[in-house]
Structure 1
């Protein structure tokens, strides 16, 4: 084998080419290299031939190509892509790359080291010579530097540098398996020689072989770092090794930072493996002792490296690892972190400067730190590890506090640690309710900082969680710990918390109300240290709170909160309307629920009534409440519990709270009339009622056994419930301030509810013949009162508080007209054949007597009705009607007795109304043996002694067993 073949690494020479041809090509190459007159492409082809066949000329050939590449880089402008290589230069580069790639592929052991050395040396010189121009416009900082990632992009845009880096990668790929450590060391040495410009080369090559490059660079950097531990060389004011002032370590830092952006998983695995290997052995070699400080300083200087170090760190930090770290930490403080707390500060800075797995790491610190604060009786043991974890966490809190509260000009655009915690908040929310004091207080401080960083919505989120999940008074104290930390910045957040909780449909609303009641009670008693007022916030959200009254499980707590907070003095009409509706609904729901615990039932009823009494002070409050109570008593499903019977003439499903179904009936009648092309010629009632049925509703169905009465429970229970309702209405009338005005409102509401028309609703009584005009309305009034016993109770109540009944004159008149019409139509029949009509007649006469519509003489009819026949009764009722027509019982007809304070009506002497009593007196005289005592009292004694004006005539109703 010739010398040429040996140097060529076994490549066969061309037999046809002799030494004379090679020498001629060498002369042409030398002449062409000095001048470009022969053409670069031809010179390049000659150079490639010499590169293969004349080993002694290879240095000259590589030098020629280096010069050509230098001119290409010199002419390249990163801001103008058109300044790149010419077509001829691109063709030359293509031929050279193809030839060198072939040589390396066929004989890598000979060609790869040689070409690699040339390409890297050339890159080193070019990067150092032209590194300052490879900065993209607008990307440099104030010092004129740019990031490594941006420099890589600029260099790869140039054809020459791209060719060199590609051929270097091919060479390295062939050397990795044999001597990866040596080639990486050579690469890093070259980087140090041409630092910092050459770093982009190593960074890009590392992207081609990330696993090997990252591992080797980390190892080489560790060797360099461990060699600096003994002295004070290159240390910063914090007594730490200044990586940026150590060329090799600075290159390691920059290269790994660049690779970490695109190969974080590889960097993470490499750093974790290096970390675990350093603590797996008990020996304290220099490199093992330096590993953790080395990794910490890299992470402190580089965000990508900090992210890689912290990602998944919790998974590998086992109890055994913590024990080993506790053993090694004194050595670190002695060699690498000589200043007090420097290790603590560098760990803190890493944690607050990145967002990678920070919640998991802080949670680990809390758990390990909390182990030392657990009482000894519960297995607590305060180890050095627990103390260290608490110190780290508290220091993190201190740094975060400074960042959150620092002046705006000192704050960055964001705080990565707090941003990460906000995205993983659920874990720390659970710690707020921990039994461990350290975990609880630390979580409060941390979440308070997150709240100040993220804003008031986060504060509301934390408070909502606490109110929904606190089950004990101790846990509820966390609210008093958290709120003062944020309320000065997020003022008025309490109403928002209450509003959001009340609007939500969370199943824990019962716990929220219970906790809110505790907090409000403490504030009301003056025992609360919270600056924000829950009472004020609750009062502003009263409409939402009242809505929760309709949920039985929440009713008591809601009422208690309303009582503590007090009602707003000025409520808008829609709000007042809704509050009254909810209160009435709750009152009736509780009243008819006889299965509820008696004590709770009474408490709820009492609180509702007290709240209603306060609402009576509001404008229109009493009218709305009275209206709703009457609606519920008459037109809702609650009425059957009060003894009401479903009207046979009423269409099915026509009873509902609020009276909305009457409108439905009216609309139905309206549509029925349209079918026949006819419309009412005058305003009528809600329905046009005849004895045979209802227009639009068909005939009245035949009554069946079991249809009536539609009463739930026994009559005694119904009477008891009616007494509750009447008593409530009585007290609400008194709560209006003016008792007489309250009874007037109740009377007018009754008229509006019972009387279907607004015409002829005045106090005066018309002629008897006018009964024919109002018969339809009077039948409806009579039927409604008969089917709803609560109406009799309320009318008798109003009769005892004169002159309130006079406003219900239309109702009394309607029942009276129906009685007259009935007894007139059955004049030839027996009285006892109509027990219901007898009872109604007695009740209306008694009512008129108690209310002093008529004198006591005429009121005797209720007691002597058994001696009358239908014809006689009809005539006497007509006499009463005529008396009422001439003696209208208006409010001005009543006076007040100065001695007793009672309201009465002065009917005058017997002679003033004697004509209206003659028929009754004659009938009683004919049946004197049956009614002698009453006849003597009212007709004999009164004839002997006239009653003076201003003194009431004896009231026969005192002897009547009436109910109120």
Structure 2
């Protein structure tokens, strides 16, 4: 304060009295004065006569109000006429004079002048803002109101004066200025909000901190819960912070958290007032965030780093002290639940905090404290979930749902938590989100099916999928077979896209395949009630096109995908589900691919299980669809005989030899242009001059399981040809075996000429020699053909359709035996052994298929003892002649009551003309063939 002695020393009393009289006459309008002179007189009195301050400031109020009125009227005139009237120079000069003097006073002695001037300027701003709030469109948005008033010289000067007051006290005491700001805000809100916004933007940290502090002091004085909740100053604090939150939300959050941290620190310097404030801090913050969603969002953003179970344990001791601010513990609990439900950010962090409280194992304090916290956390969590459930059911989701929708990744991680309460809570949240947005449900179920490793996690997946809140009829999910069907569709389509674009194996789906197979097994067992609707198998069926396509290209997961496809048992005749033709074709092709992959597999037990799955799937496919049967047989035969897979069955791939033959043909053409080489010319290349005999090319890989692979291939073919229902005596379909025979002929015979069943004269073989040699080479290089021919021979009369192959083999044998010359059975050459072995195989096939009746069917036991020319005679005069005169037709076979086709060996015994040569030759060699001669010609059963 300025002392009287100072006034008297600086200004003569007579002059000061004259100034006072002049001011009174001018201010009371008893005489007309110049406004500028009157203002200068008032400023002189303000500096020199403290007792006149109230009157001076009252006069200044009229000056500023009059200038503001002139500004408002000018704006209104401009709105009406479109022309802005000239600004009053007198108002500008007077206000400028007041501004300069007040700023000088604040600068020279801020402690004395700043609180007084700040309070006056704020109150005047509040009155002006309220008085003219309805004029000149001032009732628009806060930003527009701020711009409008800051364009007014009077209000802009008042704001600048107040800003100077705050800046001058920034490092000492701003309490009085902030308190005045709060009081004015309470009194004149919302018209005063633009002032608060401007002051706060100039001193955000100071204003935020001081406003919070002033509000806390006022909050501590409240005597009851209602008084605190309805406190005008509390609402003013909320309003001010709300205005500042737009640009300074981080500052607000920081200030609130610092206040909270301060309240947790207990020091010896604490006074009774500070202890009271610390105890009231949490209720105060709760009331603030209850009144402002913006403040609530700001402090909930990082709950996990703000609140811990240990801090909650410390706060739990203050609940009794908090009750006076909330009335009852139940009211506090209800408020906390309400605040949690209102959170638009950090909702999952709060849920996790409650779960940590429920699962707490260690806590400072006694066991009773831990038990109380656990029970209270359970209660709050249950209330939150119940309220959320109710809001979702009534299509009015609470704010926290918005938070959950942004934190799906965290919720998904919770689904895999080993603690049941955590995973089930996450499951409930997924259900809530899925009810509102099914796409979120799809995302979570996808995450769960790909990462679940326990039965409990898979059970949770089923609980979520089948929950009553999930709308099973909503399109497009209902049209695609359900939500799980869409999950599979997305996983499979993404994986197929990755495979065909990047050509990489996707090992990340290993767990997904295991989980899908487990779910199918659960469904098939019938012991899981939630799967009675067959949601898993229906989802798989809806995605069979993608699944079967992926099965064809997958290598890492082929066995488990085969388990899945085998488990769903499709297609089933007369079943309600009819798979599309594309699925049938994909599955057939994929199963064949899987068969050959199993042949290459190293694991014995896994390999055998794979073959069994192949047979089951092929049988279902081929009995269901003839197209599938044709495709399966064609693919099995073609790959096993001609493609790179044929080395699995001991095939001899002479790719280099073929190249050599082509080169030799070209060389011959170059050497002699007159060589009559036609389009179909053959080159018998036994070697290249200068390089010796042509060498056989060894396979790059040696497969030790050739016999096993061949056995399994025959089983696979049997599955393709099987009857729909097992027959007691035969399990093969005659039509299927016929198809197999025709396919063999189609693949092995190089053309369609002379492929009929009849055998011509033996001399005619000269015409078909090239083709017969080709067929013979096929059988030599592909031993599998003998196994296939023998298999067909077992199921008569299908072998009849392979007549052209047997005929070609027989013709080449006759030619080769004849070319052996004087070599006899004693010759131990490799050629002789191979020729004898081939001859025995041909006779065996004909005997097995009952194309040769007894005693011709026993020739295979005779020829090893004969000379070459004798073998030629038997093949030509017995075998060829008989086959020429007895066409190998299915009509030769009768069908008994059991469905078995066969020829009665007694009734079909050939006339002597076809056995005489055999008889005579055996008689010549009676010493070695006597026992067989008696069996074949003497001890013959007689028919009745």
Q: Normalising to structure 1: TM-score of the pair?
A: 0.78
Q: Point out the more displaced range, 608-617 or 627-636.
A: 627-636
Structure 1 position 34, deviation (Å): 8.5
Given candidates 357, 363, 366, the residue that maps to 1:368 is: 357
Q: Counterpart of 1:691? A: 684
Tell me whether 1:225 sits opposite 2:219 in the alignment. yes
Tell me whether 1:187 sits opposite 2:195 in the alignment. no
Is residue 552–residue 589 contact of structure 2 (8 Å, CA) maintained in 1? no
Structure 1 position 207, deviation (Å): 1.4
Structure 1 position 708, deviation (Å): 5.0
Is residue 778–residue 815 contact of structure 1 (8 Å, CA) maintained in 2? yes
Structure 2 vs 1, CA of residues 115 and 900 (structure 1 numbering), >3 Å: closer, same or farther? closer
Given candidates 693, 705, 710, the residue that maps to 1:722 is: 710
Tell me whether 1:565 sits opposite 2:550 in the alignment. no
* CA RMSD, Structure 1 to Structure 2 (Å): 4.9
Is residue 47–residue 61 contact of structure 1 (8 Å, CA) maintained in 2? no
Distance 2:653 2:697 in 1: 8
Secondary structure, in 3 states, of the residue corresponding to 2:894? strand
Structure 1 position 618, deviation (Å): 1.8
Distance 2:921 2:619 in 1: 50
Structure 2 vs 1, CA of residues 518 and 723 (structure 1 numbering), >3 Å: closer, same or farther? closer
Tell me whether 1:740 sits opposite 2:744 in the alignment. no
Q: Counterpart of 2:248? A: 263
Is residue 214–residue 256 contact of structure 1 (8 Å, CA) maintained in 2? yes
Structure 1 position 921, deviation (Å): 4.8
Distance 1:826 1:91 in 2: 140
Distance 2:80 2:360 in 1: 63
Structure 2 vs 1, CA of residues 842 and 648 (structure 1 numbering), >3 Å: closer, same or farther? farther
Structure 2 vs 1, CA of residues 886 and 203 (structure 1 numbering), >3 Å: closer, same or farther? same
Tell me whether 1:527 sits opposite 2:505 in the alignment. no
Distance 1:705 1:94 in 2: 118
Distance 1:651 1:81 in 2: 103
Tell me whether 1:404 sits opposite 2:392 in the alignment. yes
Structure 2 vs 1, CA of residues 253 and 702 (structure 1 numbering), >3 Å: closer, same or farther? farther
Secondary structure, in 3 states, of the residue corresponding to 1:179? coil
Is residue 220–residue 277 contact of structure 2 (8 Å, CA) maintained in 1? yes
Tell me whether 1:629 sits opposite 2:643 in the alignment. no
Alignment of 1:902-941 (within 5 A): 902-904=901-903, 914=913, 916-917=914-915, 919-935=917-933
Structure 1 position 780, deviation (Å): 2.5
Q: Counterpart of 2:891? A: 892
Give the length in aligned residue pairs.
Answer: 872
Distance 1:260 1:730 in 2: 78
Structure 1 position 344, deviation (Å): 1.6
Q: Counterpart of 1:959? A: none
Tell me whether 1:253 sits opposite 2:251 in the alignment. no
Q: Counterpart of 1:444? A: 427
Distance 1:793 1:260 in 2: 86
Given candidates 408, 416, 431, the residue that maps to 1:425 is: 408
Is residue 245–residue 294 contact of structure 2 (8 Å, CA) maintained in 1? yes
Is residue 309–residue 357 contact of structure 2 (8 Å, CA) maintained in 1? no
Is residue 782–residue 814 contact of structure 1 (8 Å, CA) maintained in 2? yes
Q: Counterpart of 1:585? A: 593
Structure 1 position 48, deviation (Å): 8.0
Distance 1:78 1:272 in 2: 50
Secondary structure, in 3 states, of the residue corresponding to 1:196? coil
Distance 1:203 1:496 in 2: 51
Tell me whether 1:764 sits opposite 2:758 in the alignment. yes
Structure 2 vs 1, CA of residues 258 and 86 (structure 1 numbering), >3 Å: closer, same or farther? same
Secondary structure, in 3 states, of the residue corresponding to 2:850? coil
Tell me whether 1:294 sits opposite 2:284 in the alignment. yes
Structure 1 position 346, deviation (Å): 1.6
Distance 1:5 1:701 in 2: 135
Structure 2 vs 1, CA of residues 863 and 518 (structure 1 numbering), >3 Å: closer, same or farther? closer
Q: Normalising to structure 2: TM-score of the pair?
A: 0.79
Gaps of 5+ in 2: 47-51, 474-481, 496-504, 573-577, 670-675, 726-731
Structure 2 vs 1, CA of residues 292 and 34 (structure 1 numbering), >3 Å: closer, same or farther? farther
Structure 1 position 853, deviation (Å): 3.0
Is residue 622–residue 629 contact of structure 2 (8 Å, CA) maintained in 1? yes
Distance 2:385 2:691 in 1: 81
Gaps of 5+ in 1: 12-16, 36-42, 140-145, 655-664, 674-679, 952-964
Distance 1:160 1:700 in 2: 118
Tell me whether 1:610 sits opposite 2:609 in the alignment. no
| 1:217-257 deviation line (CA, Å, top 9, x unaligned) | 22222233232224x7xx3xxxx7443xx433322221111
Q: Counterpart of 1:347? A: 336
Alignment of 1:814-963 (within 5 A): 814-823=808-817, 832=827, 834-835=831-832, 836-856=834-854, 858-859=856-857, 861-866=859-864, 870=868, 873-874=871-872, 876-879=874-877, 880-881=879-880, 883-896=882-895, 902-904=901-903, 914=913, 916-917=914-915, 919-935=917-933
Q: Counterpart of 1:307? A: 297
Q: Point out the more displaced range, 541-550 or 898-907.
A: 898-907
Is residue 793–residue 848 contact of structure 2 (8 Å, CA) maintained in 1? yes
Structure 1 position 804, deviation (Å): 0.7
Tell me whether 1:470 sits opposite 2:452 in the alignment. yes
Structure 2 vs 1, CA of residues 288 and 901 (structure 1 numbering), >3 Å: closer, same or farther? closer
Structure 1 position 609, deviation (Å): 1.8
Distance 1:352 1:135 in 2: 38
Distance 1:725 1:8 in 2: 125
Is residue 591–residue 721 contact of structure 1 (8 Å, CA) maintained in 2? yes
Secondary structure, in 3 states, of the residue corresponding to 2:570? coil
Alignment of 1:13-28 (within 5 A): none
Distance 1:10 1:810 in 2: 141
Structure 1 position 707, deviation (Å): 3.5
Q: Counterpart of 2:729? A: none
Distance 2:803 2:277 in 1: 108
Secondary structure, in 3 states, of the residue corresponding to 1:396? helix
| 1:642-688 deviation line (CA, Å, top 9, x unaligned) | 33222366658x9xxxxxxxxxx99xx99xx9xxxxxx99998xxx7
Secondary structure, in 3 states, of the residue corresponding to 1:524? helix
Structure 2 vs 1, CA of residues 80 and 753 (structure 1 numbering), >3 Å: closer, same or farther? farther
Structure 1 position 366, deviation (Å): 1.0
Structure 1 position 329, deviation (Å): 1.0
Distance 1:725 1:308 in 2: 70
Structure 1 position 345, deviation (Å): 2.0
Is residue 257–residue 302 contact of structure 1 (8 Å, CA) maintained in 2? yes
Q: Point out the more displaced range, 246-255 or 148-157.
A: 148-157
Structure 2 vs 1, CA of residues 106 and 898 (structure 1 numbering), >3 Å: closer, same or farther? closer
Structure 1 position 527, deviation (Å): 1.6
Distance 1:934 1:707 in 2: 42
Structure 2 vs 1, CA of residues 908 and 849 (structure 1 numbering), >3 Å: closer, same or farther? same
Structure 2 vs 1, CA of residues 115 and 76 (structure 1 numbering), >3 Å: closer, same or farther? farther
